[in-house]
Amino acid sequence: MLSIIKIFAKGNRFLVSTISTLVVSIAMTTGAGAADIAAIYTESCAACHDSGALNAIKKGDSVKWQQLIQQKGMPALISSVKNGMIQMPAGGLCENCSNDDYRKLIEYMSK
Ligand code: HEC
């Protein structure tokens, strides 16, 4: 006797629980942290300061950076970036950078 086994394929219904999107809010007021500075550098300043394009002082050329920081002083360098220079666009391609961010970026490049 052949028994026909009927397999009722029941569609398994997985209850997909909706995972609420975790919104990481970036605290703008506290300024950029070390990881952010590296990211901002890569997005904005690296275009010229990584390769030394247009004669920009290279990141990591600490001798030249230290000389410049001593000669002009940090506040002057920050305003150079903000106002732009001969070849450097105003803001150095960073639209949301604060003075403090620029200072950290310059220190980051000078190491
Ligand atoms: C489009 C290329 C370019 C980008 C992008 C750029 N720079 Fe520059 N930067 C230069 C060049 C070129 C110089 C050398 C001065 C000149 O010829 O304009 C310079 C000079 C500087 C100086 C020296 C200023 C002085 O008074 O001597 C600082 C500080 C500086 N850059 C910081 C930054 C920072 C911080 C960023 C990113 C937020 C940035 N730069 C992005 C091209 C660039």
pLDDT digits (tens, 9 = 90+) for 37-53: 999 999 999 999 999 99
Ligand 1 atom closest to Cα of residue 41: 37
The residue-averaged pLDDT of 81-110 equals: 97
Q: For residue 38, what are the contacts with CB-CB under 8 A and spacing of at least 6?
A: 108
Ligand 1: which atom is nearest the Cα of residue 78? 29
Separation between Cα atoms, residue 102 and residue 75, nearest integer Å: 10
How far apart are the C-alpha atoms of 64 and 55, rounded to whole Å? 12
**CA atoms of 38 and 40, how far apart (whole Å):** 6
Please state, in angstroms and rounded to a whole number, the distance separating the CA atoms of residues 92 and 54: 13
The domain spans of the chain are: 1-111
Do residues 65 and 89 lie in contact, with contact meaning Cβ atoms separated by under 8 Å? no
Quick check: CB of 48 below 6 Å from ligand 1? yes
CA of 88 to the centre of ligand 1 (A): 5
Could you tell me which CATH number the domain at 1-111 has? 1.10.760.10
Q: What is the pTM of this model?
A: 0.79
pLDDT tens per residue across span 7-25: 445 566 654 444 333 223 3
